[in-house]
Amino acid sequence: MALTRWLDRFRALAAQAPGLAEDTVTLAPARGAIRPSHHLVFGCMVHGEECGPLPGVVAALEALAHGALRTSAHVTAFVGNAAAGLADARFLESDLNREFGESSSDTHEGRRARALTPVLAQATLFVDLHQTIQPAAEPFWIMPFHVQGALWARALDAAKVWMTRAPDAQFSASGACADELVRRLGRPGITLELGQKGFGHGAEMRAERVIRRALELVEALDVGATLRALAAERPEPAYFETLHAVPFDRDDYALRPGLVNFQRVTRGERLSADNAPEVLAPVDGALLFPKYPPRDARGAYQQPLPAELVRLVAPMSRHPLDAYGLRATVES
Ligand SMILES: [Zn+2]
């Protein structure tokens, strides 16, 4: 099984250069580096079955460990939920990416979140690498707006679109994501969706590229560049927000086959399958998280149904700095 081989390579690195938790690698800066100013943390497989980024993470770590790639930063990478990955599951007992709050549960994932908290607390930048269940027309950022995170996302130039929402209002006591924990500590924590889950959908190459780009940026920052200037050299992502979510509140709902994340649709376009209740796109925009739940032998959906059938998203009419009242904080 390909995952076992990649996990073995990751764990060989973790045995040589262990981080603060199991399945974590921490590499020290290259000898002779300028005083390290950054600790980059990369996460993958926080959802077990999203194994696609792992080969890219391993490739970048091996290049660093063998000296083919040098950096002035500490670099940490972790495999979030290897046990779930080996079971080809999103999680074993609870969603790890809802366990980083103040009260995590007494589950495999709750314990893992507690173990990973000191790993995340080291980050001056945290990039969490995820994949979607269905294919994606393009990779996308997904997290609440964050001023520093926006500069990093733009400078990293790993996706042209960002699904965003208002900045974290208050930290959720339960249910927090890994990137949210880092933002709560006042640092940029950003999440990249690299395409459909599993190997062979491009996540390997995209993960390695974003890690290498982060190392380049740290190198430039350490010799005096500003993040603002580095960001300005790359195109700003288009900010999308959710306009409409279709609740999955009927057992006979079904989407037409083949809908993917960030597929553009026009108002009135039929989204439902021929034999299912009509669902039309209420607005021009793009689709997010189309659901095709598994069915049993009689054709009935396995329960429980997901909360939403599909989301309609569209570009924000105002820049998030204006929409969220943050313009003054960056121009003062
Ligand atoms: Zn995920």
Ligand 1 mean position, distance from CA 329 (Å): 31
User: 140 pairs with which residues across the strands?
Assistant: 161, 193
**pLDDT (tens digit per residue) in 95-129:** 999 999 887 899 999 999 999 999 999 999 999 99
**Residue 279 CA to ligand 1 centre (angstroms):** 26
Tell me the CA–centroid distance for residue 95 and ligand 1, in Å. Answer: 10
**Contact by Cβ (8 Å): 239, 164:** yes
Residue matched to tokens 């500590």: 185
The alpha carbon of 44 and the centre of ligand 1 are apart by a number of angstroms equal to: 9
Nearest-10 crossing angle of helices 2-16, 54-65: 30
Question: What was the pLDDT predicted at 170?
Answer: 64
Distance in Å, CA 191 to ligand 1 centroid = 9
Question: 322 C-alpha to center of ligand 1: Å?
Answer: 29
Calculate how far, in angstroms, residue 136's C-alpha sits from the geometric centre of ligand 1.
13
CB within 5 A of ion ligand 1: which residues?
Answer: 47, 50, 130
> What pLDDT is attached to residue 171?
60
Cα separation of 305 and 250, whole Å? 9
Cα(125)–Cα(128) distance, integer angstroms: 10
| Token reading at 114 | 């507690």
Distance 225 CA to ligand 1 centre (A): 33
d(CA 256, ligand 1 centre) in Å:
24
The residue type at 206: R
pLDDT < 70 stretches in the chain: 33-34, 170-174, 332
Q: Using an 8 Å Cβ cutoff, are 242 and 117 in contact? A: no
CA of 192 to the centre of ligand 1 (A): 9
Give me the pLDDT at residue 173, please. Answer: 63
308: enclosing H helix or E strand = strand 308-315
Provide the 3-class DSSP secondary structure of residue 38.
Answer: coil
Residue 185 pLDDT? 93
- Distance (angstroms) between ligand 1 centre and the Cα of 108 equals 17
pLDDT at 332: 62
Question: Phi then psi for 129, rounded to 5 degrees?
Answer: -105, 115
Which residue has 């950022």 as its token pair? 141
Give the per-residue pLDDT at 175.
83
Instruction: Show contacts of 198-201: CB within 8 Å, 24+ apart.
Output: 198/49, 198/50, 198/51, 198/52, 198/131, 199/2, 199/3, 199/51, 199/52, 199/55, 200/52, 201/52, 201/131, 201/135
The rounded Å distance from CA 43 to ligand 1 centre is: 11
Q: What is the CA(331)–ligand 1 centre distance, in A? A: 34
Alpha-carbon distance of 306 to 185, in angstroms, equals 31
Beta bridge partners of 239: 162
In the structure encoding, which two tokens stand for residue 73, read together?
């930063």
Q: Say how many Å lie between the CA of residue 50 and the centre of ligand 1.
A: 6
Tens digits of per-residue pLDDT, 1-48? 799 999 999 999 999 999 999 999 999 998 776 677 899 999 999 999
Amino acid at site 17: A
